Structure 1
């Protein structure tokens, strides 16, 4: 199918240069602008300018390595050893795209033309998006609401409060939603552009993030949680989106490879096209790559809907595949069971079959399957230059937001609301529904089960680190050892490389591989990341103050 992705994959370099100007961090910008006499005369020119804002969409790759559910090698975020840095690409790039968005918005206010309001709305969406990307890590940041020159007083604006930043983001998203088309109203050539549903879904994400942050960091968050419910509910009731079920029992697996592109579940994707824009992620299919941890593996329910510690169906850890048996199907669609035969990428002379003998990587022992293309024709043809889209906002997340925000706001959730949210996800993989009766009968906690469902459904999609911080559980979760498969008193004990003294000495008291220990997280410091010191020094040298985050 021709997906018409060229709309923003091929951009005009001249427009990019003129739109953003020459920048040296936040403080210096070129005074050059596109003249209203030669540009901004048609809606198509606004569209062309808006195209470049898509270029900053993040390619979520190894984001969950910051948390407790994925591991490759020790990193300074998850183990609390991060140091301040002079620069930050997140800071610099976000403000550059915010400047581009401000340019479009300012021109739309002073030089509106027929049809330009749609692309001004896109710019407001992106301004909100890039502010939220910074807000999650830094907290309050300077709010730049218009295009600045070298003489603008706002050039050295102080950091806005968390409340002011969130309110500004939500205002932009509300305004954007009112002017954007529905998904069903897009022409074929515009598939992939920002829609009303995209703005509402991001609004729900932002409101849930800050609503729960407030609740668990000393506030209530009830107003924001209601906003999250309302925005998610509006997306749901629009009937513009649905879960991808086109390939039956394998739909969750196929959603993250070529088959899931442009599906009914896609709300915002980072888009790729063969021969135009490709990627090689994820690499290290069966080596020390992007793999789940013991924590993640144990979160998958058994097929009776009960956790492994409460289910008679759990088969334990003693054989190569026992822990994969009788489990939520998403487990084997995320981490492939040992011995599974499939096509392997990264063989330049063709496709080889996965060896039937169980083999593992050396970090946690698990092997990633989510995102892995196994179509032999595609693997041979593209040789690592994959072109499946990366889902940044999908309908499943909206359903999860709806359920969590409702529960966090009210302290309860009805079975009817579970059926219109979480249970749709479970239905897709033929898992028992979550209900208040199931929770009560098995002495479970509804909040924990809602969080479990979110973690399982969105595993390795870049949400976990932010979730742990907004729930204020990072000081517990991120100080625990990272563990992997059971390498002692199991079949793995007799397999390379785990039979060696090097590995056997790293087993805990229950025989599980310890991949990383002595992790730390300072709750008075590590919930926010440090601002780039170069920006702080720049403020100081001009007689202003840019406040650093606590203890940095």
Structure 2
């Protein structure tokens, strides 16, 4: 994008030693003692927090049922099929506690600085990022040790026991509540500040975490979900009422597709993103997705409604799976063709737009027969390892989905008015008919299923699916199912690949659909609702860290 900012200061806190009044500090580095003197220095320190937002190359969805791939991480595939084991160390644990320490350090220096309200904004950013990293820990491990001060090896808090999941969520929500009044509104950012944390970002994270905990308590037990569902509703409604955000519609009917690439950067839908810019911070995500590092599954494909708003199991508009490769994409929610590569459709590559046919050999080889279109940029730079489009980790579309779901889960129903101001805004952008209570009743549908369907298709491949299945407590039913793909036997896929030997080169089920991973190889046990605490952390804790059940 054109206007980017981030100053990486790395490890700038160099401790100096004084000896008999001599200044022996290095002349080319800033000492810790001389650094924390002005608001601008606190801003520089806060800049470093942004590096740890979720960036492109986000393959998180590989741990779920809607994506498949093994080119990136065998660990994510092991998580998906339930074969993963407790490990000595965890990147999630180490990275987030590293950053929690960094935020605690800024907060400590702020309290010592005497600068008061002049540094409120940077204190607010530190509180946001501390909450963000505790959120990453909570959704992985449940309850974790809550550390709110800078520790050294002699600190007794090094051996802090785990708090509960509810206490962890309460802690991070309190941080966010403290952060909001210190942070600017989106409208208060000037052009050079786009991408910094705002009140909207804090409210969006609060809504996300509160919905997670509320639905976790509702479906797993252990407490009253109502306060958290109310907190999610309140945070989402505040964000909506601010008027600072709106769905991206800059590309008309194709806006959903373009939201996730360069055209959608800095759009009104973006609340907080990991930002890239030419010549300084770029990525290669488009090319990796060309080569099917992450691919959709039949589970996701079948979730897209027909254009009459009905599921494909009941809509007369659904054309089935037989014959042509394109037939299952006909008369479907337009977001399907903006998420999947429709066989024969044009994809921007090194030589411009070229028709692409997902296959089973060469550069278009895919284990399910599907290919991912979402996140494929249409610039020459992206085709040459220099992608500049941002990864939008927090966006307004998610907030609308949180609001709709939280209202339904709290009340057991949702009004047409609330549907109109949430889910139906997303449907209207995509060109889909509205969801109403009368439509649900007339067609014997289930409102909760439709709300969850909308969330899954709208947020596909943005990293939410496994967390959703775990909080809904449906993972034990969904995750053990086979990973399947397109119908191969008797279709154009088989005609275009006549040399493939079934059950040797390619595996299919009794109905001729590709099987990427059979059900017999997939498991989801009760213990998989939480990830294991790293074994080395347990060993180092002097008995204060207790492993999650079943691990």
Q: Normalising by structure 2, what TM-score? A: 0.91
Aligned position for 1:2: 2
Partner of 1:210: 213
1:156 to 134, 159, 162: 159
Question: Are the aligned partners of 2:216 and 2:471 in contact in 1 as well (CA < 8 Å)?
Answer: yes
Q: 2:264 aligned with 1:260, yes or no?
A: yes
Q: Provide the secondary structure at the position in 2 that maps to 1:515.
A: strand
> Which aligned pairs between 1:408-427 and structure 2 lie closer than 5 A?
408-427=409-428
Q: Residues 497 and 112 (structure 1 numbering): CA distance in 2 closer, same or farther, change over 3 Å?
A: farther
Residue 333 (str. 1) matches residue 342 (str. 2): no
Tell me the SS of whatever aligns to 2:338: helix
Match in the other structure for 1:58? 54
Match runs of 1:24-63 below 5 Å: 37-59=33-55, 61-63=58-60
CA deviation string 1:169-196 (max 9, x = no partner): 0000011011110001012111100000
* Contact 1:338 1:358 (C-alpha < 8 Å) held by counterparts: no
2:25 maps to which residue? none
Contact 1:487 1:498 in 2 (8 A): no
Partner of residue 91, structure 1: 93
Alpha-carbon distance in structure 1 between the residues aligned to 2:197 and 2:485: 40
Shift in Å at residue 545 of structure 1? 2.3
CA contact under 8 A between 1:474 and 1:521: conserved in structure 2? no
Distance in 1, Cα, partners of 2:294 & 2:11: 38
Q: Aligned with 2:405: secondary structure?
A: helix
2:104 is aligned to 102
Output aligned runs, 1:279-358, within 5 Å: 279-318=283-322, 319-345=324-350, 350-351=351-352, 353-354=354-355
Shift of 1:489: 2.5
What's the secondary structure of 1:269's corresponding residue? strand
Distance, in Å, in 2 between the alignment partners of 1:126 and 1:498 is: 53
1:287 CA drift (Å): 3.8
Match of 2:450 in 1: 449
Q: Deviations over 1:502-535 (max 9, x none)?
A: 4686221221111101244343211111111111
Return closer, same or farther for 1:532/1:14 CA change in 2, 3 Å cut-off: closer
Seen in structure 2, the aligned counterparts of structure 1 residues 368 and 156 have a Cα distance that, compared at 3 Å, is same
- Native 8 Å contact 1:87 1:533 kept in 2: yes
**CA positional deviation for 1:282:** 4.2
Point out the more displaced range, 519-528 or 316-325.
519-528
| CA distance in 2: counterparts of 1:68 and 1:515, whole angstroms | 11
Question: 2:79 matched to which residue of 1?
Answer: 77
Deviation at 1:355, TM superposition (A): 5.1
What corresponds to 1:31 in structure 2?
none
Q: How does 1:222-261 map to 2 (within 5 A)?
A: 222-261=226-265
Change over 3 Å in CA distance of 1:285–1:539 after alignment to 2: closer
Q: Within the alignment, does 1:475 sit opposite 2:443 as a pair? A: no
Verify the 8 A CA contact 2:320 2:328 in the aligned structure 1: yes
Please say if 1:172 is aligned against 2:175: yes
CA contact (8 A) 1:344 1:354 kept: no
Alpha-carbon offset, residue 352 of structure 1 = 6.7
Contact 1:415 1:436 in 2 (8 A): yes
C-alpha contact 2:207 2:235 (8 A) present in aligned 1: yes
User: What is the CA–CA distance in structure 2 between the aligned matches of 1:198 and 1:497, rounded to whole Å?
Assistant: 52
TM-score with structure 1 setting the length: 0.91
* Alignment partner, residue 193 of structure 1: 196
1:88–1:532 contact (8 Å) kept in structure 2: yes
Q: Is the 2:270–2:395 Cα contact (8 Å) retained in structure 1? A: yes
Structure 2 distance, partners of 1:178, 1:357, is 50
Q: CA deviation at 1:80?
A: 0.6
SS at match of 2:130: helix
Counterpart of 2:273 in structure 1 is: 269
- Give distance in 1, aligned partners of 2:244 and 2:218: 31
* 1:354 Cα offset (Å): 2.8
Q: 1:261 to 1:505 in 2, by over 3 A?
A: closer
Contact 1:487/1:504, CA 8 A, preserved across alignment: no
Match of 1:23 in 2: none
Gap change, CA 1:298 and 1:127, over 3 Å in 2: same
Distance verdict in 2 for CA 1:522–1:311, change over 3 Å: closer
- Unmatched tracts of structure 2, length 5 or more: 16-29
Please name the residue that 1:547 is paired with. Answer: 546
- Tell me the alpha carbon deviations over residues 123-175 of structure 1, each in whole angstroms, 9 at most, x when there is no partner: 00000000110111111111000111222111110001112111100000011
Question: In the aligned structure 2, how far is the partner of 1:512 from the partner of 1:519?
Answer: 17
Gaps of 5+ in 1: 20-33
Deviation of the 1:399 alpha carbon? 0.1
Give the structure 1 partner of residue 19 of structure 2.
Answer: none
Residues 236-280 of structure 1 show CA distances to partners (whole Å, capped at 9, x for unaligned) of 010000000011011000011110101100001011001110111
1:266/1:18 CA distance change after superposition, 3 Å: farther
Structure 2 partner of 1:30: none
Q: Quote the residue 2:146 is aligned against.
A: 143
Check whether the contact 2:14–2:31 (CA below 8 A) recurs between aligned residues.
no
CA contact (8 A) 1:283 1:289 kept: no
* Residue in 1 that maps onto 2:23: none
Residues 1:40 and 1:514: Cα distance change in structure 2 (over 3 Å): same
| RMSD of Structure 2 on Structure 1 (CA) | 2.0
Comparing 485-494 and 251-260, the one that deviates more: 485-494
